[in-house]
């Protein structure tokens, strides 16, 4: 009888602690709001794309910051495998059945098309292709854990030029990023923010190193601190082309480390971890180099636990 009661207690504890998705519409039925190619443009969003159910809002945004070739006006095409493709000469997104919770999405950027017959110059815009969603009710003070997991495969990443590229200016890299805000009205840092990232792939390195710097270098930069964790925290071997990998981690302790790093550089020095909230999430390519690159993402999860308060 005691064993039976204890099993019931454990069952309800497990149910209570089960993760709740912090991301909505992972199947992407509502499609995307399409961004402009510059954050200074008005309007900032220029319609909806890849919508499967017109009755649903588009909770995701497809961001094409820094590109020279907008996807505005591109016509989607459907393939025999059920996937839908939206593309132009410089970019492509393939939406597979089930979206990010199913067979995934594939993002492609053609850097050689973006920059033509020359290399990108210092302080020049660079091409992005990101999927992005705003987050709600994700305060560190309420979180026991925030579990992030993702399957990915780099399909290709090849140079589009015979010229020698400068690794300080030219790369193709993808990470998962969150904008992190001080959400405590009583704090001197209220509404200030940093960027926090988990690396996925960088063509310059077998395993992406950590990165700590100020977001700068073009007109869309925020001037805020960026902390990307070391890839060796998530991978024990190089990321190879056409191999599947899984990132799986709890973001709560990692964000505490990122806050320490930010404060050591003079950012959010009046902030404690409990002041912080996850404000938004993005995933995809940043391509400041002349590379053609494709990556396939699937089985995305961002699940919160708040049972141990």
Digit-coded pLDDT (tens) for 10-46 = 333 444 456 899 999 999 999 999 999 998 999 999 9
Q: Which residue has the higher pLDDT, 220 or 161?
A: 161
Instruction: Please name which of 242, 236, 84 lies closest in space to residue 152, comparing C-alpha atoms.
Output: 242
Q: What is the pLDDT of residues 235-285, one digit of tens each?
A: 989 999 999 999 999 999 999 999 999 999 999 999 999 999 999 999 999
Instruction: Please name which of 154, 114, 112 lies closest in space to residue 295, comparing C-alpha atoms.
Output: 154
pLDDT at 188 over 70: yes
Phi-psi region of 169 (alpha: psi -120 to 50; beta: other; left: phi over 0): alpha
Segment (H or E) for 261: helix 251-264
Strand partners, 285: 129, 174
Q: How far apart are CA 268 and CA 139, in angstroms?
A: 16
pLDDT at 305 over 60: yes
pLDDT at 234 over 50: yes
Identify the band that residue 221 occupies on the pLDDT scale cut at 50, 70 and 90: confident
pLDDT at 175: 98
Q: Is the four-CA dihedral 107, 238, 235, 289 of positive or negative sign?
A: negative
Identify the band that residue 83 occupies on the pLDDT scale cut at 50, 70 and 90: very high
pLDDT at 222: 80
Q: How far apart are CA 68 and CA 126, in angstroms?
A: 9
Segment (H or E) for 127: strand 127-134
Question: Are the C-beta atoms of 230 and 202 separated by less than 8 Å?
Answer: no
pLDDT at 147 over 50: yes
Q: How far apart are CA 285 and CA 300, in angstroms?
A: 16
Whether the bond into 300 is cis, omega within 30 of 0:
no
Q: How far apart are CA 229 and CA 260, in angstroms?
A: 12
pLDDT at 209: 92
pLDDT at 7 over 50: no
Other C-beta atoms within 10 Å of 248: how many?
11
Tell me the average pLDDT of the chain: 93
DSSP-assigned states of every residue in the chain: -HHHHHHHHHHHHHHHHS-EESS--TT-TT-EEEE-SSTTSSSSEEEEES-S-TTS---EEEE-TT-SS--TTPPPEE-TTS-EEEE-SSEEEEE-TTGGGTT-EEEEEEHHHHHTTSPPPTT---EEEEEEEE--S-BGGG-SEEEEEEEEEEEEEEES-SSPP-TTT---EEEEEEEEEE--TTSTTTT-EEEEEEEEEETT-SSPPPEEEE--SSTT----EEEE--GGGT-SS---TT-EEEEEEEHHHHHHHHHHHHHHTTSSTT--GGGEEEEEEEEEEEE-SSEEEEEEEEEEEEEEE----
Identify the band that residue 217 occupies on the pLDDT scale cut at 50, 70 and 90: low
Q: Which residue has the higher pLDDT, 11 or 190?
A: 190
DSSP category for residue 118: S
Identify the band that residue 309 occupies on the pLDDT scale cut at 50, 70 and 90: very low
Q: How far apart are CA 180 and CA 276, in angstroms?
A: 6
Question: Are the C-beta atoms of 99 and 27 separated by less than 8 Å?
Answer: yes
Q: What is the pLDDT of residues 85-136, one digit of tens each?
A: 999 999 999 999 999 999 999 999 999 999 998 999 999 999 999 999 999 9
pLDDT at 6 over 80: no
Strand partners, 33: 48, 61
Q: At the topology level of CATH, where does 2-305 sit?
A: Jelly Rolls (2.60.120)
């Amino acid at each position: 009888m005691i064993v039976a009661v204890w099993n019931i207690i454990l069952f309800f504890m497990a149910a209570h602690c089960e993760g709740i998705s912090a991301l909505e519409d992972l199947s992407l039925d509502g499609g995307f709001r399409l961004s402009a190619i510059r954050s200074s443009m008005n309007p900032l969003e220029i319609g909806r794309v890849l919508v499967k159910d017109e009755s649903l809002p588009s909770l995701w945004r497809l961001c094409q910051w820094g590109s020279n070739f907008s996807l505005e006006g591109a016509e989607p095409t459907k393939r025999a495998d059920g996937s839908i493709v939206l593309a132009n000469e410089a970019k492509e997104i393939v939406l597979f059945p089930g979206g990010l919770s199913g067979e995934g999405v594939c993002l492609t950027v053609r850097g050689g098309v973006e920059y033509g017959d020359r290399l990108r110059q210092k302080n020049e815009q660079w091409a992005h292709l990101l999927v992005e969603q705003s987050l709600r009710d994700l305060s560190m003070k309420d979180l026991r854990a925030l579990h992030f997991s993702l399957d990915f495969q780099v399909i290709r990443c090849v140079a589009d030029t015979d010229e020698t590229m400068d690794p300080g200016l030219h790369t193709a890299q993808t990470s998962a990023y969150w904008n992190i805000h001080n959400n405590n009205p009583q704090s001197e840092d209220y509404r200030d923010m940093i960027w926090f990232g988990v690396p996925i792939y960088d063509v310059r390195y077998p395993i992406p190193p950590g990165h700590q710097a100020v977001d700068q270098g073009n007109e869309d930069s925020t001037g805020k601190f960026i902390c990307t964790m070391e890839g060796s925290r998530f991978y024990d071997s190089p990321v190879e082309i056409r191999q599947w990998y899984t990132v799986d981690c709890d973001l709560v302790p990692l964000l505490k480390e990122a806050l320490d790093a930010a404060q050591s550089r003079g950012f959010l020095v009046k902030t404690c971890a409990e002041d912080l909230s996850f404000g938004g999430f993005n995933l995809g390519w940043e391509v400041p180099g002349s590379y053609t690159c494709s990556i396939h993402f699937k089985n995305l999860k961002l699940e919160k636990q708040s049972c141990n308060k």
